[in-house]
Structure 1
Amino acid sequence: MPIISLSASDFDPKHRILAFQDAAASICKLEICPTDPLGFQSTTDIAVLTDAVLASTTHSQCTALRTSALAANETDNILIHVPFQEGFSITQQGGFDVDCGVGSIYVDPNEIPGAAQFTKDSAHIFYISIPRHALADAISSADAQLRRSIEMTPHWRMLIGYAKNLHECYSSMSPEEVRFCTQHLHDLARMAFTNGRRVEETHQGRGVQAAWLTRLKADIEEQLTNPELSLNAVAARHRISPRYARALFAADRTTFRDYVRQRRMTLAHRMLGDLRYGHRTISDIAMATGFGDLSWFNASYRQLYGMTPSETRVQSIQADKSVAQE
């Protein structure tokens, strides 16, 4: 499997910093501000696994910003920062100023804006990004450790050692091997977040969570075609925190965003196959089912159904003609 590499030295010296900043914003969802633009060096190697991302980064002094705009495009992941050489200080919205040195880790809610400062040259940071749904019954333990510097425990060392070796071997692994190893990574992450404890819900707890999730999904169905539908709005209507709402979907092995997209896709697919909507354009149907971006709708539709919206419509027309001829 190929490693994605991003290095400041790969760009034209005349435009190196601006070009690198554009690439970092696109790939890493970060705005990089070098302390010394002329002497700035940075190299990142990224392994994109099944339901996880591993990255190893070395760079000179800089500030890494996750702006509100960049955070809005982030996935519902938890990002684990592991300093291998030199530490950093970080501040995130809703948190405190935190110093994280070698021998500690920082647990980052990926969708929250913040700024990390690297004041030493040759910092080497390793990153593990894991979707919340993969943490399953450990999600509450993970949420309790967000925006904190945590001392390395044996369970964290097991996870980080495995992740580091997986990152190093990634380029020579098959997709099947990557999927298999990702499952092990998730297991080790759950163990690290719970400090080795086995997390089990009581029957009552499962019943309460199931009841809440049913209510949230019913709310989504009522607001499905509303382009302003959001996790925060749904949580507010039910007077629960967005974090708890997110955890409910994670326990169901999905995310709010993916669930809404799936439901909207189902509605759009049904409309495209219904000749009563034959007079409406693809764009019209996309907007009517809550999608604000036509290109994203088309790409997501093809990924889910293996054909374009237009092909679905043609297929439906042909099927209707065949029935009429019979």
Structure 2
Amino acid sequence: MAPPTGKTAVLKFSTDDLPARDRITIWREVFARSVVKVDLEPLGEGPFRSESLVRVLPDVMVRSSSASAAVVRRTKPLVADGDDNLILSIIRKGQMFATQGNREVYLDNGGAYLWSNASTGVSRNPTAMDLVTISLTRRSLSAVVADLDSAVMRLVPASSDALRLLVSYVDILQKQTAPMTPDLLAVSATHIQDLAALALGATRDATEAAKVGGLRAARLQALKADIIANIGNPELSLDAIAVRHNISPRYIRTLFNDEQTSFSDFIREQRLRRAYRMLSNPQLIDRNVSAIALECGFGDLSHFNHSFRRRFGATPSDVRTRAQQERAT
């Protein structure tokens, strides 16, 4: 287990680093009761396995994890700690049955529910699962969710647009490796709170605030991730992206304009960056420049050469030659 370090406040925990016979004991005593604040009983045969990446933000804690089949309990002794945070559990893969008070919820490869640390409860995952949990303070959610008590233990379907955007935003955040400044940590926490509120049923004021906060940020991140994932497709277009994300082309233009760029400029920049990386890669020396241009989504070699030189101050052949010289030394 690695403790939080620097401004990123990141904690990594894996039972793979522990002797099999000690995993449950250490998970309970070191990780479960101090971080996730539950007790655990493994299910099935074989050694228990759990892996988590925890990121601490102001009033928000995000945990991405995978774990073996288990029963997890928030017991009376644990409730006595006075923690009344609310936990939004999002199932990425697997099944979960959860009970708290007289309410039950079942999730299967998608969806989410809100759990209260102020009450006892039990959740059971009969098979291995991948999970994202977001711990939010009752104070912060009370201010933005219209009926918070009714939101507890209510299924948020996987089809929820706000939930999908929240998951996408968290995925990108959890991949962040560079240190984050306090201002960036605070902004990220606000965006997560905005999206969680929308998924749970935000107040009118919170909905309006989210449109210029977390919702906007998450949509822009989702658009950029989609573009980068499909950057080699020469048919990548504004209309196609708009249809895929169920938003208007005009709104997409607005999002990129607010970033002091445009949709087409962002695509060109990503294609040029990919081409530069490929031309600089010694393992791709045998691939000719035109093939690389096509693979990066450029249909016109002359346009590629002109754009590349203007962007990097060197021709593709110059970059390729430099890579060959470095390989030879």
User: TM-score band, normalised by the shorter chain?
Assistant: 0.5 to 0.7
SS at match of 2:152: coil
Q: Which residue of 1 aligns with 2:168?
A: 161
Q: Which amino acid aligns with 1:64?
A: V
Q: Deviations over 1:132-170 (max 9, x none)?
A: 222243344332211122213112222232223222226
Q: Tell me the percent identity.
A: 24
Q: Which residue of 2 aligns with 1:107?
A: 114
Deviation at 1:195, TM superposition (A): 5.7
Q: Which amino acid aligns with 1:193?
A: L
Contact kept? 1:3, 1:171, Cα under 8 Å: no
Structure 1, gaps ≥5 residues long: 201-326
Contact kept? 2:74, 2:117, Cα under 8 Å: no
Aligned counterparts, 1:160-199, within 5 A: 160-169=167-176, 172-194=179-201, 197-198=204-205
In structure 2, do the counterparts of structure 1 residues 175 and 137 end up closer, same or farther at CA, with 3 Å as the change threshold? Answer: closer
Structure 2, gaps ≥5 residues long: 1-7, 208-329
Q: Which residue of 2 aligns with 1:150?
A: 156
Number of equivalences: 198
Q: Deviations over 1:192-243 (max 9, x none)?
A: 322684469xxxxxxxxxxxxxxxxxxxxxxxxxxxxxxxxxxxxxxxxxxx
Q: Which residue of 2 aligns with 1:19?
A: 26
2:61 aligned with 1:53, yes or no? yes
In structure 1, what is the Cα distance between the partners aligned to 2:95 and 2:43?
16
Match for 2:104 among 97, 107, 114? 97
In structure 1, what is the Cα distance between the partners aligned to 2:115 and 2:140?
16
- The two structures have a TM-score, normalised by structure 2, of 0.55
How well do the aligned residues superpose, as a CA RMSD in angstroms?
2.2
Q: Deviations over 1:172-198 (max 9, x none)?
A: 322221112212222222333226844
In structure 2, do the counterparts of structure 1 residues 171 and 20 end up closer, same or farther at CA, with 3 Å as the change threshold? Answer: farther
Deviation at 1:40, TM superposition (A): 1.2
- The two structures have a TM-score, normalised by structure 1, of 0.56
Q: Which residue of 1 aligns with 2:84?
A: 76
Q: Which amino acid aligns with 1:45?
A: L
Contact kept? 1:47, 1:170, Cα under 8 Å: no
Deviation at 1:37, TM superposition (A): 6.7
Q: Deviations over 1:89-109 (max 9, x none)?
A: 0111x2233211223111111
Runs of 4+ in 1 over 6 A off after TM superposition: none
Contact kept? 1:128, 1:163, Cα under 8 Å: no
Contact kept? 1:47, 1:55, Cα under 8 Å: yes
In structure 2, what is the Cα distance between the partners aligned to 1:131 and 1:115?
20
Contact kept? 1:17, 1:37, Cα under 8 Å: no
